[in-house]
Each structure stands twice: as structure tokens, then as C-alpha cells.
Amino acid sequence: MNYKKIAAKDIIVIAADSFKKHGFYKEYLLDISRAVAINISDIQIIFEDKVALAIAVMAYVQDIFDSSILVPDYDETITIQARIIKLNHNM
């Protein structure tokens, strides 16, 4: 077992980038484990399989969307013009 300290979020971020570049079907857990520089078994301890990792990636992307797009879009404490400026800045 590789004792390199790695957080699940680090794996998710690398997987998100890999899925974006290569597509879900062309990317393998082995490729992601190499990109993160850990053993595939270490990933499988956290994520049962590639589908479980993909679900975690989707939740990660949804969190980014919610915090950078949805929240500012519905922030009624600022004017509509300020919301548009804030949205453009976040993209």
C-alpha cells in the first residue's frame, strides 16, 4: 500500500480533469491512479469503481456550479446588474 497522504478530493479533481480531457469511457482507474501517483488499490479503498468515482466527480462539479453560479444568481441582497457582473467574474 502506498502511504502517500492523499485526500479523496485530490483524486476527484484529477478524475474530473481526466474525464473532461479523455471522456469517461476512455479513462481508466489505472490512468487516474498514475496521474495522482498512488496505487489503484488506494483509489479502490475510497471509490468502489469508476462509476462511484464519476458520481463523486459529478457532485464536485455540482458544488462548483452551485457556489459560483446559482448562489450569486439568486442573491437578492444585490442589484440585478451587480449579479450579472458577479456571474461574469466567476466564469
- In the chain the domains, ranked by start, together with CATH numbers, are 8-90 (1.10.10.60)
Mean pLDDT calculated for residue range 71-79: 75
pLDDT at 3 over 60: no
State the pLDDT at residue 68: 75
What confidence score (pLDDT) does residue 91 get? Answer: 57
The residue that leads in pLDDT, 66 or 62, is: 62
Sign of CA dihedral 57, 15, 7, 52: positive
Question: Average model confidence (pLDDT) for the chain?
Answer: 86
Residue 53's pLDDT is 97
> Do residues 43 and 53 touch, judged by C-beta distance below 8 A?
yes
DSSP string, 20-67: HHH-TTT--HHHHHHHHTS-HHHHHHH-SSHHHHHHHHHHHHHHHHII
18 has a pLDDT exceeding 60: yes
Query: CA torsion sign, 42 to 45 to 51 to 53?
Result: negative
Kindly tell me if the per-residue pLDDT of 4 is higher than 90: no
pTM check: above 0.85: no
Residue predicted with more confidence, 6 or 53: 53
The cell numbers describing 2, all together, are 502506498
